[in-house]
């Protein structure tokens, strides 16, 4: 976590991302709600206080590809900092979400005036960039089974603060298929395989718990 240069204390995002500051507002979203759509003007940045968000691109033929999943403490919509840019993807809430929306002008002002926020923001961007590189490498060299294992482990991390290993939303196998670039029947096959091997568990409500042993699939052990 970034540090505030003026206080030398760990920066609390709630101090500068309260939803009540200039250019800020708080959004509460239910699963399935669209936050912004592909092609919209990019006029604001979003910070996730809690929840899980899907970023997806749809081709002219209607085919969807999930390009990123964002969770607690992450930013999305950063292209708003490029003047007159349009959204390259559609963002949709996968769970109940609490977001802070910050206008592009307010973000620029905070980057100039809030060194702690600037450090936290840059660190978040670098982390997301590294994860995007890892995802690209994953798509190029790993099997669909390994790609699915990686996404499940990533989703489980989003729920770590409340219930370690628990994915905070019911698994939508179509979303998983679009995320890893395969078909829904293949995802279903691998999910059943993982369950038989004890790598994952379903509760009676359909929520999934991921075991650390699933890492062995991703690592190829």
- Where do the structural domains in the chain lie, given as residue ranges? 13-137, 142-219
Cβ 29 vs Cβ 169: under 8 Å: no
- Predicted local confidence at residue 84, as pLDDT: 80
Residues 122-164 pLDDT 10s: 998 898 888 888 888 777 788 899 899 989 988 887 655 555 5
Provide the CA 94 distance to its chain's centre, in angstroms. Answer: 10
As a whole number of angstroms, the distance between CA 176 and CA 67 comes to 11
- Predicted local confidence at residue 154, as pLDDT: 84
Domain 13-137: give its CATH code: 2.60.120.10
- Predicted local confidence at residue 164, as pLDDT: 58
Cβ 54 vs Cβ 169: under 8 Å: no
Cβ 75 vs Cβ 121: under 8 Å: yes
- Predicted local confidence at residue 158, as pLDDT: 61
More confident residue, 184 or 136: 184
As a whole number of angstroms, the distance between CA 10 and CA 116 comes to 9
Q: Answer whether residue 5 shows pLDDT above 80.
A: no
Q: How many helices (H) and strands (E) does the chain have?
A: 7, 10
- Predicted local confidence at residue 135, as pLDDT: 80
Section 197-218 average pLDDT: 85
Q: What's the CATH class of domain 142-219?
A: mainly alpha
- Predicted local confidence at residue 3, as pLDDT: 45
Cβ 89 vs Cβ 55: under 8 Å: yes
- Predicted local confidence at residue 49, as pLDDT: 92
As a whole number of angstroms, the distance between CA 77 and CA 92 comes to 12
As a whole number of angstroms, the distance between CA 8 and CA 71 comes to 27
């Amino acid at each position: 976590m970034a540090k505030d240069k003026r206080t030398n204390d760990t920066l609390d995002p709630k101090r500068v991302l309260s939803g009540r500051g200039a250019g800020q507002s708080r959004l509460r979203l239910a699963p399935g709600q669209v936050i912004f759509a592909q092609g919209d003007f990019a006029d604001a940045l979003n910070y996730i206080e809690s929840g899980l968000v899907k970023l997806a691109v749809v081709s002219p033929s209607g085919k969807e590809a999930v390009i990123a999943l964002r969770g607690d403490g992450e930013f999305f919509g950063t292209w708003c900092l490029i003047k007159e840019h349009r959204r390259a993807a559609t963002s949709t809430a996968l769970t109940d979400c609490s977001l802070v929306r910050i206008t592009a002008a307010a973000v620029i002002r905070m980057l100039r005036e809030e060194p702690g926020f600037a450090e936290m923001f840059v660190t978040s961007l670098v982390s997301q960039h590294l994860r995007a590189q890892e995802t690209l490498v994953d798509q190029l060299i790993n099997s669909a089974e390994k790609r699915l294992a990686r996404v499940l482990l990533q989703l489980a991390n989003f729920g770590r603060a409340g219930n370690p290993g628990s994915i905070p939303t019911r698994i939508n196998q179509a979303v998983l298929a679009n995320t890893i670039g395969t078909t829904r029947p293949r995802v279903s096959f691998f999910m059943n395989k993982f369950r038989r091997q004890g790598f994952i568990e379903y509760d009676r409500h359909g929520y999934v718990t991921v075991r650390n042993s699933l890492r062995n699939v991703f690592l190829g052990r």
